[in-house]
Amino acid sequence: MMQLPVDLEIARGLPPSGGSLKQAEHYTRWLATHHYENFTVASVFLPRHLRQHFYNVYAYCRWADDLADEVTNPSEALKLLNWWDSELHQCYAGSAKHPVFVALRGTIERFELPIEPFSDLLTAFRQDQSVRRYATWDAVIEYCRYSANPVGRIVLHLFGYKDRERQLLSDFTCTALQLANFWQDVSRDLQMDRIYIPVDLMRAHGIAESDLFAGRFDSRYEKLMCVLVDRTRELFEKGFPLAQRVAPKLRVDIELFSRGGLAVLDAIELIGYNTLQQRPSLTGVTKLKLLGRALGEYALTYARR
């Protein structure tokens, strides 16, 4: 196994390379359920027989994400991502050694998961090491194709959906969620010298990079963010039909994600689009309302049966 930075949280409690499946699954379950994002992989609405498989997929994504973001030296991060890619290909060749891939191998075989979504995520993480600006809207959308859409496609496979129609609907939703996060986190990304707002749209509104770094919020930025929010809403709307074309338990999660993303856009509007100087967030009340609506849809589905 490649030498990892000692302070990486993902390496804590890692079983030995080539260990048992039981050890590997215990580790992926621990990693998924002891992290602030665990709601996305351990939703109570997921069928019990799928939870371990979600833990396994989450562990793969979490490792890739941390190797990209928690390793501060880009060249070192790139080496680690290339190593992770080689481990992925070994897994698909049937010679998994790393605990994450020992666990993931069974999931891949049971659900006939293609390698492309896993590889695409690594493409995005590699890109993050060198690309920090995006010239056009299409360039940002292309990035989301690799950074966000693969996760939705993997989830659909785990529920047995392999058709292109549902995958495209999932792509709309996942891209919209990624974009909503970008517009919410403009100030945070600037601290890391990352700008996801398309350069051509900035220029069209008379905004320079220096305006962003100086935190100059005015009508130009307000109009620009309004355009970005509106375009993102359109993507959410295109993805809405997906929720009605999947099993009820998956439908709840899709409803929560979509409505949560839209709620983030609403929060951006409520602060007058000023994401340069503050980060809009969802209140506990808003989250409860979103959950209530999703549960209402779930109950209605069964009431109609």
Question: Are 146 and 274 in a shared domain?
Answer: yes
| pLDDT given for residue 1 in this prediction | 63
pLDDT tens digits along 72-110:
899 999 999 999 999 999 999 999 999 999 999 999 999
| Residue whose structure tokens are 């929060």 | 267
Residue 3 forms part of a structural domain:
no
Helix 149-158 × helix 116-128 angle, to 10°: 160
pLDDT tens digits along 15-41:
888 889 999 999 999 998 886 444 444
Report the CATH number at residue 256.
1.10.600.10
pLDDT top residue among 89 and 48: 89
| pLDDT given for residue 222 in this prediction | 98
Tell me how many domains the chain contains. 2
Q: Is pLDDT of 223 > 60? A: yes
Domain-terminating residue out of 130, 145, 168: 130
Question: Are 138 and 283 in a shared domain?
Answer: yes
Inter-residue contact 273 to 225 (CB < 8 Å): yes
Residue 93 forms part of a structural domain:
yes
Question: Are 146 and 100 in a shared domain?
Answer: no
Q: Show the domain range for 278.
A: 131-300
| pLDDT given for residue 284 in this prediction | 54
Q: For 14, which DSSP code?
A: P
Q: Cα–chain-centroid distance for residue 217? A: 28
Question: Are 231 and 139 in a shared domain?
Answer: yes
In this prediction, residue 53 has a pLDDT band, given cuts at 50, 70 and 90, of very high
Q: Is pLDDT of 204 > 70? A: yes
Neighbours of 18 (CB within 10 A): 13
Domain-terminating residue out of 108, 130, 152: 130
Stretch 225-242: mean pLDDT? 97
Question: Are 172 and 291 in a shared domain?
Answer: yes
Inter-residue contact 205 to 223 (CB < 8 Å): yes
Indicate whether this model's pTM tops 0.85. Answer: yes
Inter-residue contact 131 to 150 (CB < 8 Å): no
Question: Are 135 and 121 in a shared domain?
Answer: no
Question: Are 154 and 294 in a shared domain?
Answer: yes
pLDDT top residue among 294 and 284: 284
Residue 125 forms part of a structural domain:
yes
pLDDT > 90 in the chain, percent? 74
Domain-terminating residue out of 107, 130, 153: 130
Question: Are 101 and 77 in a shared domain?
Answer: yes
| Residue whose structure tokens are 């050694």 | 97
